[in-house]
Structures are given as C-alpha cells and as structure tokens.
Amino acid sequence: MKYIIPQDKLDKVISKYLDINLNGLVKIKAHHYHGIIIGYPNQSLGFFGWKSDNNVLFIFAGVLDEIASNFGLDMSTYNIESAVGKWVSNKFQLEVDKIQVRYTMEPFFIHR
C-alpha cells in the first residue's frame, strides 16, 4: 500500500520512523577523535559520529539509503540528511553545524 506524505510533514514522519527503528541508541565517547559515536550499547559500530571541536555530524549512508528505500524518496530531490541531522541533534542534544555522509564505517568504530 502506498501513502502520500506531504512535503511539509515528511521530516516529522522520518523523525517518528527513526524513534521507532533506532530506539535504544546511546552516546559513546569516541577514542579516535574528540566527540561521540551514537550506537547501541555493546556493539562495535555506531550509526552516527559527532566531532565536538567543529560540530560536524557524520551519518552512515546506510541509514539514509534505508529511509529513502522505505519511503520511496529520491535522495537528489529530498534532503534526507537534513531531516536525520535534526533528529540526531534534538534527540541527543548536540549542536550540529555541518553534516557529512560517510560510505565507510571508519568514523563509527567504537573502541572500548
């Protein structure tokens, strides 16, 4: 079944989707840069990284791909990164000045 979601409601729908599907994420201190990694406890990789020295949020591309796929979004016409960035910023009380999409897992390794 297909639903039509108005553009002005899409950020809210994506936020609810992330609340449900990424429930239980926590902030974990990053050991290879000044900042944090956001992931599940007792996992070796996170979904997001945040550098505290320049307020850059790293988003793993797989998260964006999943959202685009589930909602039938064209990533060239809708800024999914912005919606996800707002969600991360609000959920984890982080100041985000810039968003970078990462296609490798390098910024997301959790060293314990």
Question: Could you tell me the pTM of the whole model?
Answer: 0.87
Measured CA to CA, the distance from residue 61 to residue 68 in angstroms comes to: 11
Q: Is residue 109 over pLDDT 80? A: no
Domain ranges of the chain: 9-108
Render pLDDT for 37-95 as a digit per residue (tens, 0 to 9). Answer: 999 988 888 899 999 889 999 999 999 999 999 888 887 778 899 999 999 999 999 99
Q: Is residue 98 over pLDDT 90? A: yes
Provide CB contacts within 8 A for 79, sequence distance 6+.
Answer: none
Q: Is residue 108 over pLDDT 70? A: no
